[in-house]
Structure 1
Amino acid sequence: MEAMIHSNEELTRLNPSNADAAGFIGILERVNTGVSQGLASRRTNQVFTEGKDGSRILFPPVGSIDENLYELWNWLETSKSPAFCKAAVGYCCVSNLHPFTDGNGRTARWLWASILRREKLCTAPFFPLYEFFARSRGSSVIYLRLAELRGNWDSLVNFLARIVILMGERQTLSRDRMAQLPGVER
C-alpha cells in the first residue's frame, strides 16, 4: 500500500506544463505506467471498440500517435481557450487517441485533473470521473464521441462542468474560480 500512495503522490506532482512536447509525451507515459501498475505500454497495433450491433469505432493508426500528441501539446500550450476547455480537450484527445495498451481512460482523466490543478481551477488531487461516467449509463461515451467525431463539444464540456460543480460543493474547487465554469450563475 505504501508504494501505491507514493505513486499517487508522484503522479499528482507531475506537471505537463513544465515540459516540451517530448517531455509531455514522456509524462503521459510515466502516468500510464503508474495507473496501469507497469502493465501497459505504447500500443503497436490497430485497435477498435465494437458495438453490440457490430459497428466499430477505429482508433487512430499507431503511426499517427506521436504526431497527434505533439499537436495536442502545442494546442494546450498556445490556445487562448479557458482552462476548463483545455482540460476537456486534453481528456478527449488522449482517450480517443488511445496511445496505450491499457489505462488510456485513467491517463486521460489524470491529464484532465492535472490541467485543472495547473490553472488553479481546483485543488483536488483526484476527481472520481470514472464513477460519474459509470453512472451516466453510456451518456459520457456519447458525449466523448460527439466531440471526437462531430466536433460537438457542448455536451462533453457541460457534463464535465457539472462534475466539477458537484465536487466544488464538497470544497474541492476554489469558490472564486467556480464562477468561471460553464453553467455557473454569477
Structure 2
Amino acid sequence: MGGQLVTSTWKPRSEPMGARRFRRPCDYDAFVPDLIGEVQFNLPIDIAADFDDAVSALNDLQRNDLSLLRPLAHLLMRTESIASSRIEEVNVDARRLAHAEARQRIGRNVGSQAKEVISNIEAMQFAIDCAVNVPQVGLTELLEVHHRLMRGRLNSAGRFRSSQNWIGGNDHNPCGADFVPPPPEHVDELVDDLLAFCNSDEMPAMFQAAVAHAQFETIHPFEDGNGRTGRALIHIVMRRRRLSEQVVVPISLAFSRNRRAYAGGLVAFRSDDMDEWLATFADAVLQSVSTAARYVELVSELLGGWRERLRGHANPRSDAVAWQILSELPASPVLNRADAIASSDRSSRAVDQGLRQLEAAEVLIPVEEPPSRHRSWEPAGLLDLIVALESGEDTRLG
C-alpha cells in the first residue's frame, strides 16, 4: 500500500516525564497511506487460488446441520474474541471466561481482564448484527463497535483520537517508534474512504476483508483498541458479503498462534508488499476454517455422548425440556438456572426437572454448591474440548 511520510516535530509535554532524552524535542515521520478507493489492485493467481480454497472450505463448513451450527456459532465467536484479546496481551482462557460470564449474568462481580474479553464479545456481536441489519456499515456503527469494546476503560471510547499515536519505541514520544500512523487530522478522510471500500461489492469478498483490516490497522484511528476493532471489521465484511452467514470463524486464533507472521504481513502491507499480507491472511482463514470444522466434529460427538447418557439414565419423552436444554448446551460452557429458563419456553418447574435429569445423567456437572437459584453447571467435557482446541491440541473424545 503506497503512501507518504509526513515529518513532524514532537514537542515534549509540559510535565516532566521520563529520562531527559525523552523530554527533548525530536523529529519523527508519520505514514499517511493512499486513499484505498483510488488504488488499483492486482491479485496474484496463486493467492487468488488460496482465497478460492478458503471460500470453498467456509462454504463446506456452513453446509453442516443448522441445528448444530446455531448454538456452536456463539462458541466460535467466543473463541475469536478470546484470541483477539490475547493478541493484545489480555489473557483469559476459555474456562475462566465461561465462569466469569456466568457470574456476570447473575449480577456478580468479575475480574477486569475477564470483563474486557466479555466487552470484546459484545462488540463482536454488535459488529456482526450491523453487517446483517444495516444496508451499509457507516461511521456510526464503527464508532459503536469501539465504544462497546472500550467503554469503562478509555475516556475516548467511541471517538477518534485527537493526538498522535505510535507503535513500538518508548512510551514518551514517537521518535524511534516502529510505526507512526497518520496524524489525527488525516483520520476522518481515511476512515470515510475505508468505509466506502468496505461497502463495495465490486471485488472478491475475502480480498476485501484482508485489505480492509490492513488499511484500518495502518490508519490506527483510535487511541487504543485498534487491533480488536480492526479484527471485528474483518467479520463485518465477511458477514456483509455473505461469506460467513452462519458462523464467525476464529481468524484471530490463527493470528495469535503466529503473531510474527501476522505483524510481518501488516508491515509488508504498509511497505507496499501486498502479496505477503494477502498470503498471510489466506493462510489464517484456512487455519480458522479447519479449527471451526474440528469444533463441529468434536461437539457433534459430544452431543451424541450426552444424548446416550440422558437416554440411558432417564429416557425422558421426546418433547421433554431436558432434550431442549441439551441441544443448546454448546452455546453455554457454563449454564445456570436462569440461563436455562430464559432459553426455554417452558415453566420453571419443567426446567428444574430437566436440569435434575441432566445432572443425574452426568451431562451437567455442578460447579457451584450449595443448592440455590444461582447454581451453575458445566456441560461434561465441553470446556476441556474448547481449551484443548484453542491451545492447538488435536483432541479426541474418549
TM-score category (smaller protein): 0.7 to 0.9
> Residue 166 of structure 1 corresponds to which residue in structure 2?
287
- Provide Cα deviations, 1:129-184, integer angstroms capped at 9, x if missing partner: 1x43333242211110111232x221212212122212223339xxxxxxxxxxxx
TM-score (norm 2): 0.38
SS in 1 for 2:167: strand
Q: Deviations over 1:55-92 (max 9, x none)?
A: 53111010111100111122233462211111011111
Letter of the aligned partner of 2:287 in structure 1?
L
Change in Cα spacing, 1:38 to 1:96, as seen in structure 2 (3 Å) is farther
Q: Is 1:30 aligned to 2:151, yes or no? A: no
| Structure label with greater radius of gyration | 2
Q: Which runs of 5+ in 1 are unaligned?
A: 173-186
Change (3 A) 1:126 1:33: farther
Q: 1:128 offset after TM fit, Å? A: 4.3
Query: Which residue pairs with 2:135 in the alignment?
Result: 18
Matches of 2:221 and 2:269 in 1, distance apart? Answer: 18
- Give yes or no for contact 2:210–2:278 (8 Å, CA) kept in 1: yes
Cα distance in 2 for residues equivalent to 1:134 and 1:144: 14
Q: Is the 8 A contact 1:113 1:127 kept in 2?
A: no
Q: What TM-score does the superposition give when structure 1 sets the normalisation length?
A: 0.76
Deviations 1:107-137 (A, max 9, x none): 11001011112222223235241x4333324
Q: Distance in 1 between matches of 2:124 and 2:200?
A: 29
| Cα 1:137–1:111 shift into 2, 3 Å | closer
**Residue 248 of structure 2 aligns to which amino acid in structure 1?**
P
List alignment gaps of at least 5 residues for structure 2.
Answer: 1-100, 106-117, 171-175, 295-398
Q: How far apart, in 1, do the equivalents of 2:205 and 2:123 lie?
A: 26
Query: Which residue of the partner structure matches residue 379 of structure 2?
Result: none
Q: How far has the Cα of 1:11 moved from its partner? A: 3.2
Q: Which runs of 4+ in 1 moved over 6 A?
A: none
The match for 2:265 among 143, 152, 158 is 143
User: Which residue of the partner structure matches residue 175 of structure 1?
Assistant: none
The one-letter code of the counterpart of 1:125 is V
- Structure-1 residue corresponding to 2:237: 115
Counterparts of residues 79-158 of structure 1 (less than 5 Å): 80-122=202-244, 123-125=246-248, 127-129=250-252, 131-150=253-272, 152-158=273-279
Q: Quote the Cα distance in structure 1 between the aligned partners of 2:165 and 2:122.
A: 32
State the aligned residue count: 166
Q: 1:49 to 1:147 in 2, by over 3 A?
A: same
The one-letter amino acid of 2:278's match is V
Choose from 33, 44, 64 the match for 2:186.
Answer: 64
User: Structure 1 residue 46: deviation in Å?
Assistant: 0.6
Residue 50 of structure 1: CA displacement? 2.6
- The superposition leaves residues 17-66 of structure 1 with CA deviations (integer Å, 9 ceiling, x where unpaired) of 623xxx612211111112224434221101112359x4531110101111
**Match for residue 10 of structure 2?**
none
Aligned AA (2:264): I
